[in-house]
Structure 1
Amino acid sequence: MTYSLLVMKFGGTNMGDAGAIRHSASLAGRSIKEGIKVVVVVSAMAGVTNGLLSLADAAQSGDIARANDEIAAMRTRHFSAAQELGAAPDSETVREIREMHETLRQAVYGVYLLRELTPRSRDLIVAFGERLSAPLMSLALEQQGLRAKHLTGGEAGILTDTHFGNARPTAHTYERVKDRLTGVMSAGVTPVVAGFMGETERGVVTTLGRGGTDFTATIIGKALGADEVWAWKDVDGVMSADPRVVKDARNIEVLSYGEVMELAYFGAKVLHPLAVTPLQDSQIPLRLKNSTDPDFAGTLVHADTANEPGRPVKAVTAIRSVSLINVQGAGVLGVPEVVASVFTAIARENITLLMVSQSSSMSNVSLAVPSTDAERALRALREGITGELKVEEQPGVAVLAIVGSGMRGQRGVSAKMFTALAQSDVNVLMISQGSSELNISVAIDGAAVDTATAAVHQAFNLGQAVAAD
């Protein structure tokens, strides 16, 4: 295929140090030198996002010394990378990095003084990871003789709502992005956009949620009408299971938008769960490629995929560290207001629901939530629901899911999954299947998740290529 415009996203591993950044720049540069217009979207350097979250928490707890030590270490890391990439001590890149770290230090000191870390201030702090890596990618491209300009998400035109920590683009975003980036590219300059972040109408920094750099890339892809969006990873695209758990996991050549969304939602660390949504209306393909093997096709994600004969399931994936929240009692029985109050309480706290199940007697509602949100969920439910109801947590759970559009109307898929789990002595705590028939998910004991994943992967022969007819 001949390309005229590509959006390329580089994740944290591909921005890990000067060598990784230089290699990533060479991948973008290869296409630019072929006459293809490229927009580069970058994540923070590997580990920086977690470091920023950690130092923000340290400041909130009053440990400003630890916070300042981490900022100093981060500053040294970015300065070293800039130097290795060819920046002079008095260069614009070094000056920018120094100024950004000083602004970061001031923001963190404000958290320390107030002993308060709001979602808004957390977004401001954590977005520095991408803001600091974008100048390094621009520098690496310039070292290849290419013209580049780095921009924050807001400068690139990404306008969001005020849902800090999990912001969503507004309807005006796409026109803004098109206007701003088209102008840069028409001057023969490659835009380098800091991923993961945007801004509100008032210019306040927001973030798009963990993995949000994927989302940034696809927003830009839709805005510009890109031929494809390429997400560069350190694996061969999307795998049939986590290769660290299942040794014969294999690359999946083609997935539909719906399939990859299900995989992302149920724990496969391949994409932000909403990343494909901007592409669906425009039918723009997304390709996940391996930066260490750039000529490998990777996984192509587009509208519809032909199912492999005899392969109703394409992948098995799992979410670890899950808690089940059980709401039970006679007060639930046949009272719609009680069920409504359960979901209202959860929504008010912005807690992600991984699975929902209600007993046929209607006397029990079970919710699967990330364990990190369990305490908030319990508190919200105990304060927000009416009636004499018990709210209890069952920790140490995992959610296992099989995904594949070929499951639609296919008999025996559930039976095969449950047989594999039973034969591996894995107890099922909760079951969920949507009417779309794209996935079947079960809650199981977290200690059994690796055994269960391998057993289900083997039961559907996902490690073997299907022989052609």
Structure 2
Amino acid sequence: MSHPPHGLLVMKFGGTNMQDAAAIRHSASLAGRSLKEGVQVVVVVSAMAGVTNGLLHLADAAQGGDIARANDEIAALRTRHFTAAQDLGAAPDSETVRELRELHETLRQAVYGVYLLRELTPRSRDLIVAFGERLSAPLMSLALELSGLRARHLTGGEAGILTDTHFGNARPLPVSYERVRDRLSGFLSSGTTPVIAGFMGETDQGAITTLGRGGTDFSATIVGKALGADEVWAWKDVDGVMSADPRVVGDAQNIGVLSYGEVMELAYFGAKVLHPLAVTPLQESGIPLRVKSAADPDFPGTLVQAQPEEDATHPVKAVTAIRNVSLINVTGAGVLGVPEVVASVFTAIARENVTLLMVSQSSSMSNVSLAVPTVDAGRTMNALRAGVTTELRVEEQDDVAVLAIVGSGMRGQKGVSARLFGALADEAINILMISQGSSELNISVAINAAEVDTATRAVHRAFGLSGQPVAAD
């Protein structure tokens, strides 16, 4: 193991590593390995696999008036969590079972409230969706105790994570770090392992908030920074961060070392590795993050640190893709040359809080192209039509994907773009739009969605990411 003895690790376990009693027991044993070596461990857990989506569905069903379907889903969740508790070894009259019963009753009441009001506010949705982690944390705590260790589970708020009121995508307030340190240090010094429900925090009024999809990684790094951990370990069901999606590219490889900047680019461009903001708390403190495989705990996985590891022969580390993208083209000869007009385009989008994946403007200034997630395209179109001058034409093109290559080695290295475009040209793939960040950590292109898998494989091959040598330009 690579960490120093008597150090402190924060370990995050994702949904597949929490999906049933066997997975939870295995995850608890991974924490136990380090605890037995004299290392202090803080555990941060996700909901059981599939539960977060189930909760979102039942909240929508209640809002739509289908309380029967919502109640069926709650009953199924209840059975799943009770079965796991029983399989772990909880007695029917145990504290854990009593707590699970109370949580399910509170969930049922919250969902019934949504049904009565036929209204699902972002605040109510956060309250309901956070039950996934609130229900899985007691199970992890139970598994640790039954393996002979002392544990105590806490919600994100109880652990000290205080956030703003941006429900559904809340951000931790700076005071969280001090609060987390104060609340957890007592448990650690008494030899108790804290088990924190990830993905959630609370406002200063005690309302439950969530940190956005993938937010359990974010919870873990917030706690890691607060406690000055040696490392944060994100246990996943993969060997670490891969050079491409292994379901698309059969010979994708594990990447040994990535910088914080490279991981943020990968997360932003669709690699389902980490929450895009997960590394931000670590950047200031320089704490490394390790993405590890629960199936192969001795494999080092991917180390994420401040400094990139340069490799002249492999300037690109990974190829990733965002699907379900729409391009929005704003055209108007002569009009777009006026700075106020361009400003009005971006103001209209900012008001809608839409994520802009790519932006490109033609030199004649008669055209601005924007790539946005398709789910936001309708809102974006309406905002632009309402917010810009009538002389502009706004058109939408769907079924687009954005493919990005990421790697700090691209900075200052010639021929990278040529190799990217050459690989796409060889497959006769039409490029709709191009964007290169000023950080030179990524080059992204928009292409037709139908061609994204072919393109990913071709580009992965062109940069020699499968471990095969590649001819230099």
Structure 1 unaligned residues grouped into runs of 5+: none
The amino acid that maps onto 1:341 is S
Of residues 358-367 and 252-261 in structure 1, the stretch that sits farther from structure 2 once superposed is 358-367
Shift of 1:110: 1.3
The 1-side partners of 2:388 and 2:110 are apart by 38
| 1:176-224 deviations in Å (ceiling 9; x for gaps) | 1110111221121100000000011111111100000000000000000
* Structure 2 residue ranges without an equivalent (≥5): none
Residue 90 of structure 1 corresponds to: 93
**Paired residue for 1:233?**
236
* Equivalent in the alignment of 1:147: 150
CA distance in 2, matches of 1:77, 1:174: 34
Which amino acid is 2:98 matched to? R
Q: Does structure 1 residue 402 correspond to structure 2 residue 402?
A: no
1:353 is aligned with what amino acid?
L
Preserved CA contact (<8 Å) 1:331 1:389: no
Residue 360 of structure 1, CA deviation: 1.4
Task: Give, in angstroms, the shift of residue 344 of structure 1.
Answer: 2.1
Q: Is the 8 A contact 2:19 2:49 kept in 1?
A: yes
**How many aligned residue pairs are there?**
467
Deviations 1:303-337 (A, max 9, x none): 11221231110110001111112222247422222
Q: Of 271, 276, 280, which residue of structure 1 is paired with 2:274?
A: 271
- The alignment's TM-score, normalised by the length of structure 2, stands at 0.97
Tell me, yes or no, if the aligned pair for 2:154 and 2:195 is still in contact at 8 Å: yes
Q: What is the RMSD of the two structures over their aligned residues, measured on CA atoms?
A: 1.3
Deviations 1:116-154 (A, max 9, x none): 111111111111111110000000000111110000000
- Name the SS for the 1:261 alignment partner: helix
CA distance 1:466–1:28, shift in 2 (3 Å): farther
Residue 354 of structure 1 aligns with an amino acid whose one-letter code is L
Cα distance, 1:465 vs structure 2: 5.9
Please tell me whether the aligned partners of residues 334 and 365 of structure 2 are also in contact (alpha carbons under 8 angstroms). Answer: no
Q: Distance in 1 between matches of 2:63 and 2:368?
A: 36
Which of 383, 401, 412 in structure 1 is aligned with 2:415? 412
CA distance in 2, matches of 1:169, 1:463: 38
Aligned residue in 2 for 1:356: 359
Q: Which amino acid aligns with 1:2?
A: P
Q: 2:123 aligned with 1:120, yes or no?
A: yes
Supply the AA of the counterpart residue of 1:340: A
1:160 is aligned, of 157, 163, 183, to 163
Q: Is the CA contact 1:331–1:387 (under 8 Å) kept in the aligned structure 2? A: no
Spell out the pairing of 1:46-445 with structure 2 (5 A cutoff): 46-330=49-333, 332-445=335-448
SS at match of 1:333: helix
How far apart, CA to CA, are the structure 2 residues paired with 1:305 and 1:411? Answer: 19
CA distance in 1, matches of 2:99, 2:302: 37
SS in 1 for 2:304: strand
CA contact (8 A) 2:325 2:400 kept: yes
TM-superposed deviation, 1:347? 2.1
**Distance in 2 between the 1:286 and 1:434 partners?**
24
- Deviations, residues 50-104 of structure 1 (Å, cap 9, x unaligned): 0011111111111111111111101110010011111111111111111111111
- 1:33 alignment partner AA: K
SS where residue 377 of structure 1 aligns? helix
Identity of aligned residues (%): 81
When structure 1 is superposed on structure 2, of 45-54 and 371-380 the one drifting more is 371-380
Do the aligned residues in 2 keep the contact of 1:309 with 1:466 (CA within 8 Å)? Answer: no
The equivalent residue for 1:2 is 4
1:25 aligns with 2:28: yes
Cα pair distance change 1:219/1:466, threshold 3 Å: farther
Amino acid of the structure 1 residue aligned with 2:261: G
